[in-house]
A and B are shown apart, each in its own frame.
Chain A
């Protein structure tokens, strides 16, 4: 699915409500939007609400005749919608208003995990475990303290006698090892039009 082009045909499929295309679209952007939002919002529910709102707005725009003019810039458009949602969230946060009645009506694929997802996740977890097991104990500890215990990175690096560059390179290498497995996994996922 990763290699599917964002073009006019893709947008038409998306706008017409083709489930697989919608699923691909949500799957592709979900993690990016979630990461972006979680760097700015502080609770899981806020992130989830803003993510849903972003998708709802993009789907609403898609249904308008002249909604998205440059299909190849779909990603940039999603990012700008997400920025707008964030801006509005910041404004409304101070006023403490809710908008339950304005729930998105778009038929967004349910992100809940299916049995297949659960099995796939287990496989991913096994792959991650293998990569982590191959790391020297020091590097495992470094990753654990930075990402799990969320200690101050400068302090951890000082304690372990490494610099921030070491941490970046460590993450880069682990990510690179995992990326090929991840690519295979997403290649198995459904492709629109297949």
Chain B
């Protein structure tokens, strides 16, 4: 493959998107290692995607952005006039409540979130491990904790889903995880729970057709400890 052919085929993009056939991939790599332009192109693309993944994973939905995209419908113009005054009155009550009650509480929670703290972690052991006993984690009710997971990546799955099942067998939360993230130990910050007992982290592999299969199950026990007395 020469440079013009690589450009014509958009080989850099296809390479990053895993769209080249094995033969095309070999041919492109032979060119890639020898061509500074293509090497720069692919390296820049790889760095962009790597950092982009980090960015997209950490970013929350930008509420302001979405709000700006919402367009009001002209059919509801009449609604504005008819309901403007009572709506304004309700709004004032809500704003007053928020300022007096909700925001101070949120400020407290935010300050707590910004402060460093030590979280308990559950050393998870797969239920398939012979003779292994589920670990016990001691937390206060509602206190977040950490779940470090080492999941072997399998070729058959394109991505994974990690679920937490509570003692009643109900899935408490579910978290999609990319294969890339599993190359290292995955540490999940789990929200606090309100029931003690045996929980299970269930890992599901998702194949190319979007079908899930169970890959592993990691039981652990949650034992509540009394909340510490507030400092005077």
Contact = CB atoms under 8 A, between A and B. Distances in A.
Interface of A: 2-3, 28-29, 31-32, 35-36, 39, 42-44, 73, 75-76, 78-79, 121, 124-125, 128-129, 131-132, 137, 140, 143-144, 146-153, 155, 164, 167-168, 171-172, 174-175, 178-179, 182-183
Interface centre among A3, A42, A146 (most CB of B within 10 A): A42
B41 A150 contact: no
A182 B44 contact: yes
Nearest to B157: A150
Contacts of B183: 43-44
B17 A31 contact: no
A73 B87 CA distance: 74
Nearest to A5: B36
Given A28-B39, A148-B56, A73 B34 contact: yes
A153 B16 CA distance: 13
A182 B50 CA distance: 13
Contacts of B48: 128, 131, 174-175, 178, 182
B65 A150 contact: no
B53 A152 contact: no
Contacts of B35: 75
Contacts of A3: 36
A167 B66 CA distance: 23
B30 A42 contact: no
Main secondary structure of the interface of A (DSSP, over half): helix
A151 B167 CA distance: 31
Interface in B53-97: 53-57, 59, 65-66, 69
Given A124-B51, A168-B17, A171-B13, 6 more contacts: A79-B32, A79-B34, A149-B159, A150-B178, A150-B179, A179-B44
Contacts of A152: 158, 208-210
Contacts of B29: 36, 79
Given A152-B209, A164-B19, A35 B46 contact: yes
Contacts of B42: 31-32, 35
Nearest to B26: A83
Given A150-B180, A179-B40, A168 B10 contact: yes
A128 B53 CA distance: 10
B224 to A, nearest CB: 34
A182 B56 contact: no
Contacts of A174: 48, 52
B126 interface: no
A78 B25 CA distance: 16
A75 B43 CA distance: 14
B40 A128 contact: no
Contacts of A121: 51
Given A76-B33, A155-B210, A128 B55 contact: yes
A175 B56 contact: no
B176 interface: yes
Given A39-B18, A150-B158, A150-B179, A31 B47 contact: yes
A149 B46 CA distance: 16
Nearest to A29: B33
Given A150-B178, A152-B210, A76 B30 contact: yes
11 contacts: A28-B39, A75-B32, A128-B55, A129-B55, A137-B65, A147-B53, A148-B178, A152-B209, A164-B19, A171-B17, A172-B13
6 tightest Cβ-Cβ pairs between the two chains A and B: A44-B183, A75-B33, A79-B33, A128-B51, A182-B44, A178-B48
B155 interface: yes
Contacts of A151: 158-159, 210
A148 B36 CA distance: 28
B72 to A, nearest CB: 18
A2 B159 contact: no
Contacts of A179: 40-41, 44
